[in-house]
Structure 1
């Protein structure tokens, strides 16, 4: 099992980041490079939770999203072709006095088969940079979308 911890600072408010994170409409892949619009399936969507299958590149996972606390979002993997066990994502958002928000992300990857175990091992070591870059790109994409909304 690999646990990857990441940190970003953004000009977004926690509510703005959560709005981007939980936008399951067309164009999601513009915000999340590893989530193909063609592979996105929303099973259930509520005011503070969702059940969604997403992925791309031959890897998919079904996630149970919970944003009932807008400063602490959890995404638990409930099914996947390679992830199992305690796999999932957690985002903790903290407003700063200067108006920015710090984002602490934790990704847990527990492989349920050989492909998952190898992929999880790689992500936990040499591949961590790929996840850090993906998170950075997501934050920048949500910031750009928010700037368009505000203009």
Structure 2
């Protein structure tokens, strides 16, 4: 089992990042590269929870999203072709006094078969940089989405 910790500081509010993270509409892959639009299936979408299958490049997982806590989003893997056990993601948000937001992410990857075990081992070691870049790219893409043209402040989503 691999546990990867990621961090970013952003101009986004927690609400803006959560709105992007839980936007399962067309174009999701522009913000989350590991969530191909053609592989996205929404099984349930509530006000503060969702049941979604997503993935890309032959790896998929079904996730239960829970964003009922405005400072934390929990994604629990309920099925996957490679991940099992305690796999999932936890996003924690901290509003800073300077108007920025700290986002901490814990990604747990527990392989349920040989392919998952090998991928988990790679992600926990040399592959961590791939997850760091993907997370940084999602933050930057969501920041660009929330900029009002011609203004320096942000629009709430």
The question of a shared fold, defined as TM-score above 0.5 by the shorter chain, is answered with: yes
Query: TM-score per shorter chain, which class?
Result: over 0.9
- For residue 58 of structure 1, report the CA deviation from its aligned partner: 0.3
Cα distance in 2, alignment partners of residues 81 and 68 from structure 1? 27
Structure with the higher fraction of residues in helix conformation: 1
Partner SS for 1:147? coil
Query: Cα deviation per residue 1:33-66 (whole Å; 9 max; x = unaligned)?
Result: 1110000000000000000000000000000000
Aligned length: 150
- For residue 26 of structure 1, report the CA deviation from its aligned partner: 0.2
TM-score for the superposition, normalised by structure 2: 0.94
TM-score for the superposition, normalised by structure 1: 0.98
- For residue 70 of structure 1, report the CA deviation from its aligned partner: 1.5
CA RMSD of aligned residues (A): 0.8
Structure 1 gaps of 5+ residues are none
Partner SS for 1:122? helix
Matches within 5 A, 1:2-151: 2-148=2-148, 150=155
After superposing on structure 2, the runs of 4+ consecutive aligned residues of structure 1 that deviate more than 3 Å are: none
Structure 2 gaps of 5+ residues are 149-153
Query: Cα deviation per residue 1:86-141 (whole Å; 9 max; x = unaligned)?
Result: 00000000000000000000000000000000000000000000000000000001
Cα distance in 1, alignment partners of residues 131 and 94 from structure 2? 21
Partner SS for 2:129? helix
